[in-house]
Structure 1
Amino acid sequence: MNQPLFGVSVSTAVEAARESLRLATLADRDGLDLVTVSDHPYYGGRLDAYSILGVVLGATSSITGVVSVSNLPTRPAPMLARAVTSLSALSGGRIVLGLGVGGLWDDIARMGVERLGPGAAVRAFEEAITLVRELSGGGGPMTFDGEFYQVDALEPAPVPAAPVWTGSVGPKSLAVTGRLADGWFPGHAADWLSERYRTSRPVIDEAALAAGRDPADVATVYNLPGEITEAPLAAPRDREGRWRGGSVEQWTEELTGAVLEHGASGFVYFAPGGRAPDEAALGRWAREIVPAVRAAVAAG
């Protein structure tokens, strides 16, 4: 079994810029695999996701950056391809392309972007994955004549395509994930015991099989908020079954079970309420919980 990936999400708030960069460098120093940022370009108080990711990758040496997930309607696929291949070349391949259909359409439309209906948004999403990959890996000029994207004799970047992880939620976009993607972030911080996971993952698996793929090739990486406490919690899950957190030992047991019993491929840590963690929480996550889970998974 492959070792799971472990990451942390940092804030994109403008006032938190220096702290976010500092936390990302600490995560890199402490051996985490991933650092993620959200993408909400319609909010003036947020940093541009790819700008902060570029600075983070320039300040670190090992950690991989992910925008989870890129707001596709505001980032046309050809330019997104150029951004991702550029960051890959600059960082030695330390980037994953997180991609979403686009959810907050009222906000997206305020940026002057044409509003798409649900079906059209999913079709644009599928085209974007295909086009971004075709604009990677070198080769001769390529032409793409899709419903939403058209490029004419455009030269691909001489950089391997980055893995694509989606934030798909609806059945049509989940099917696209199964057909084309390399990984999936379950929406709304759903975990391996949630109804959302139980009903969504089979859609991905069925679409993967229909496309001649192994469903195991689509990794599930969880955005996981929770509190890390000194003493064990009597109930690490709430009445609805959502993970609340607990002691290092409770986290270790829960995540080890998620990997060994439910096939989890990775976890991105958030503080309670989906906030970016502080330095103390990040330290306990990176230096206590993550090594313990890695050791337990390796032991089987």
Structure 2
Amino acid sequence: MQFGLGLPISSPALLPEWARAAEDCGFDSLALLDRLAFDNPEPLTALAVLAGATSRIRLQTEVLLGPLRATALLAKQVATLHRMSGGRFVLGIGVGGRADDHDAAGVPLSARGRVLDRQLPELRQIWRGEPYRGAVIGPRPLTPPEILIGGFAPAALRRVALFADGFLCAAPLSWAGGLVQTVRDQWASAGRAGRPRLVCQINVAAGPAAAVARARTAVAGYYAFTGRPGWGAPLTDPAEIADTVAAYREFGADELVLYCYGDDPGQVPALARLVC
């Protein structure tokens, strides 16, 4: 099982330090979430900066809100980042569920699934160098960029077999099994070889008490819209983190991304000692 590091969003200027530390400590990927109506760095822009600060580690969005972006421009941005990073970019994409993000982008929330269903084959079309609305849009990516789809709804799960290379599962293990089995069943029914790549996520915090407290506050603020106190609270006990990692390994995850909401880069080596 590989390990990714989900980057904090509160201090963008620190992210190159996080990226270099993650690469030095042996993490396999860096991930950034996407929101529009929130105080977070735009992930494609931020990951482009981090591509220049690193040389080996993969860079992935988890998940980019595709319907908020124009398809042709998104294809160009992804292809550019893929080429300039030496093929290290992975597009994790989904629809999102926040009305404020969609209102700010002028995209009806009710249309987001239909928009993504159009976008995904069109992205592949553009990357193959085929004309899109009468124009060829470059640059061509080095190879077809890997696409991971995240979500929980049946429509989101269906998209994995139709359009993607893998599934981003942000659900807790207690109810992830049914989602993953549905994805694998649909993959087989579609006649696709092998199985979809499975990338899972957990929220964590490590280090001094002050750093852990900041992480708890940041997570609570990010998930406040759910109205569920404690939703998404990070794992902080090293033994509990180690046990959870072992459970995901047994579950069959290809990659586990540890999301850090606290901004202290000192967490990176502390987490690496637990997993890498």
Q: So what's the TM-score if we normalise by structure 2?
A: 0.82
CA drift of 1:262 comes to 1.6
Aligned positions of 1:21-32 closer than 5 A: 21-32=16-27
CA drift of 1:176 comes to 0.9
Gaps of 5+ in 2: 209-230
Q: Distance in 2 between matches of 1:222 and 1:164?
A: 15
Q: State the match for 1:147 in structure 2.
A: none
- What is the SS of the residue equivalent to 1:169? coil
Q: Distance in 2 between matches of 1:253 and 1:194?
A: 14
Aligned positions of 1:41-56 closer than 5 A: 41-43=36-38, 45-56=39-50
Q: State the match for 1:236 in structure 2.
A: none
- What is the SS of the residue equivalent to 2:134? strand
Distance 1:245 1:219, change over 3 A: farther
Q: Is the 8 A contact 2:17 2:265 kept in 1?
A: no
Identity percentage over the alignment?
A: 24
- What is the SS of the residue equivalent to 1:31? coil
- What is the SS of the residue equivalent to 1:66? strand
Structure showing greater radius of gyration is 1
Q: Is the 8 A contact 1:229 1:246 kept in 2?
A: no
CA drift of 1:229 comes to 7.8
Deviations 1:25-57 (A, max 9, x none): 1111222111111111223x3222211111011
Q: Is the 8 A contact 2:4 2:30 kept in 1?
A: yes
**Alignment of 1:8 onto 2:8:** no
Distance 1:41 1:257, change over 3 A: closer
Q: State the match for 1:295 in structure 2.
A: none
Q: Distance in 2 between matches of 1:267 and 1:58?
A: 24
Q: Distance in 1 between matches of 2:134 and 2:152?
A: 32
Q: State the match for 1:264 in structure 2.
A: 253
Q: Distance in 2 between matches of 1:243 and 1:46?
A: 19
Q: Distance in 2 between matches of 1:128 and 1:276?
A: 34
Amino acid at match of 2:271: W
Q: Is the 8 A contact 2:37 2:100 kept in 1?
A: no
Q: So what's the TM-score if we normalise by structure 1?
A: 0.76
Amino acid at match of 2:6: S
Size of the aligned set, in residue pairs, is 252
Distance 1:264 1:75, change over 3 A: same
Aligned positions of 1:1-300 closer than 5 A: 4-13=1-10, 16-43=11-38, 45-111=39-105, 113-117=106-110, 120-138=111-129, 141-143=130-132, 151-155=133-137, 157-159=139-141, 160-187=143-170, 190-191=171-172, 193-195=173-175, 197-214=176-193, 216-228=194-206, 244-247=235-238, 251-259=241-249, 261-271=250-260, 275-276=261-262, 278-286=264-272, 288-291=273-276
Q: Distance in 2 between matches of 1:257 and 1:47?
A: 32
Q: CA RMSD in A?
A: 2.5
Distance 1:51 1:180, change over 3 A: same
Distance 1:29 1:179, change over 3 A: same
Q: Distance in 1 between matches of 2:149 and 2:269?
A: 28
Amino acid at match of 1:6: F
Q: Distance in 2 between matches of 1:244 and 1:52?
A: 26
- What is the SS of the residue equivalent to 1:270? strand
Amino acid at match of 1:36: A
